Chains A and B, each alone.
Chain A
Amino acid sequence: MSVSYQVMWNRLISVVEEQAQALVRTAFSTSVREAGDLSAGVYDDQGQMLAQAVTGTPGHVNAMADAVGHFIRRIGRENMYPGDVYITNDPWEGTGHLHDITVVTPSFYRDSFVGFFACTAHIVDIGGRGFGADANSVYEEGLYIPIMKFADRGEVDQTLIRIVRGNVREPDQLVGDIYALATCNEIGHRRLTNMMDEFALTDLSGIAAYILENSRRATIERIAALPRETASGRMEIDGYDTPITLAVKLAVQDDHMTCDFTGTSGVDKKGINVPHVYTKAYACYALKCAIAPEIPNNAASLAPFVISAPEGSILNAPHPAPVALRHVIGHLIPDTVYDALDQILPGRIPAEGAGSLCNFQVSLRPRTDAPAPPDAVRSEVLMFNSGGSGARSTLDGMNATAFPSGVMTMPAEATEHAGPVIIWRKELRPDSGGAGRYRGGLGQYMEVGAREGQEFDISLMFDRVDHPARGRHGGHPGGPTNVSLDDQTAMRGKGKQFVPHGRKVMMAFPGGAGYGAPSDRDPAEVKRDLARGYITPETAARDYGLSAQDIAAVAEAVRKGEAE
Chain B
Amino acid sequence: MVELQAESPGEGRLPVTAGDLRLSEVVRERMTWLAPYKGQAAALSEAMQAAHGMGWPKAGRMTGRKGARAMWFGRDMALLIGPEPDPGLAAHAALVDQSDAWAVLALEGPGAPEVLARLCPLDLRDQVFKRGHVARTEVAHMAGAIARMGADNWRIMVFRSMAGTLIHEVETAMRRVAARRNSPREGADRAHHLP
Do A and B pair up? The answer is no
A interface residues with partner B (beta carbon < 8 Å): none
